[in-house]
Amino acid sequence: MIPLDIRKEMINKDDKAKSICNQCELLVLARSTLYYTPTRANDRDLKLMEELDRLYLEDPTRGTRRMTKELRKMGYMVGRTHVRTLMQIMRLKTVYCRPRTTVIDPTKYKFPYLLRGLDIVRPNHVWSLDITYVPMRRGFMYLLAIMDVFSRYIVGWSLSNTMEAEWVVRTVKEAIKRHGKPEIINSDQGSQFTSEEYVSYVKSLESVKISMDGKGRAIDNVYIERFFRTIKYDKIYLEHPSTGNELHQVCSQFINYYNEKRDHSSIGDVPPIQRYRNAA
């Protein structure tokens, strides 16, 4: 798909033949995204967020208290409240050391976790999707990736500077258009995945079941979490892109390599595309 920044530039607000609404529909662009002007984080916060991202990949069990202590060890004078705010912007999900069985989940749309004990034996049996924060030299974006768990093949991905449910639904639609429907689609309980827009869309597919991780259990979505760790350490952190277009190129290059050339020991030392296509 054409990068978001380029699609926004393609909108001609002076075009009398086609309204902005029609142009947005043709470019698969939400009008709210077109008019949204992101507030740029200051340089200090961007540096803090980059350090938080690295600390999280190192140990996802760190909560705001431990993150604050680690940042102070590095010389940053920062309070726990500000760390919590940054972690919320980054969508960092602390993994609890043990189940918090007494905590009531206020989420409106809750679905059971269907993968526990499930033998995943074929392509499109289970798709896993998640969103991760991606630091850049002069800002940040979010990466959404959809993985076929059986083959580890990335069936869809997209970048955005906002985390709208419409963005998630659009990316899932594109993946289904290319690869067909999965039997189960698994996510965490983030607001994008518990939104009415997302839940209604998946339910409209009829044969697709919704599965959601237990709250605070990133391990339930472990395969996509490992992919995020790999793309950051092996590509994004090394090249440190400056713009959305550069980030799109970096992600595209790595995902093509990951899907088509990178052997995975857990699937018989073959690239994901080979396992996906041979078993389909």
Mean pLDDT of 73-81: 92
Average pLDDT, the chain: 85
> CA quadruple 85, 90, 96, 100: dihedral positive or negative?
positive
| Percent of the chain residues past pLDDT 90, beyond the cut | 50
For 269, list phi and psi in degrees, rounded to 5. Answer: 55, 45
Burial of 9 (0-12, 13-18, 19+ CB in 10 A): exposed
Instruction: Residue 93: count other Cβ atoms within 10 Å of its Cβ.
Output: 20
Mean pLDDT of 29-36: 64
Q: What is the pLDDT of residue 163?
A: 85
Q: What is the pLDDT of residue 102?
A: 38
- Check pLDDT > 80 for residue 39: no
- pLDDT band, very low/low/confident/very high, at 10 (cuts 50, 70, 90): confident
Q: What is the pLDDT of residues 48-58, one digit of tens each?
A: 998 999 998 88
Cα distance between residue 254 and residue 262, in whole Å:
10
Beta bridge pairs of residue 148: 127, 153
The lowest-confidence range among 36-40, 70-74, 266-270 is 36-40
Q: Starting at the earlier edge strand, list the strands of the sheet with 153-160.
A: 153-160, 139-148, 126-136, 184-187, 209-212
The three-state (H, E, C) secondary structure of 146-182, written as one string = EEECCCCEEEEEEEECCCCHHHHHHHHHHHHHHHCCC
Q: What is the pLDDT of residue 105?
A: 46
In this structure, whether the domain defined by 126-279 belongs to CATH 3.30.420.10 is answered with: yes
Cα distance between residue 169 and residue 203, in whole Å:
12
Q: What is the pLDDT of residue 255?
A: 97
Q: What is the pLDDT of residues 235-273, one digit of tens each?
A: 999 988 988 889 999 999 999 999 999 998 888 899 999
Residues 6+ positions from 3 with CB-CB distance below 8 Å = 159, 244, 245, 248
Q: What is the pLDDT of residue 19?
A: 83
Q: What is the pLDDT of residues 156-199, one digit of tens each?
A: 999 998 888 899 999 999 999 999 999 999 998 888 999 999 99
Q: What is the pLDDT of residue 94?
A: 80
Taking the CA atoms of residue 151, residue 237, residue 172 and residue 214 in that order, the dihedral angle to the nearest 10 degrees is 80
Q: What is the pLDDT of residue 191?
A: 87
Q: Are 152 and 63 in contact (CB under 8 A)?
A: no
- Check pLDDT > 60 for residue 97: no
Q: What is the pLDDT of residue 129?
A: 95
Cα distance between residue 212 and residue 220, in whole Å:
9
- Check pLDDT > 90 for residue 36: no
Per DSSP, 264 falls in state B
Q: What is the pLDDT of residue 4?
A: 65
Burial of 100 (0-12, 13-18, 19+ CB in 10 A): exposed
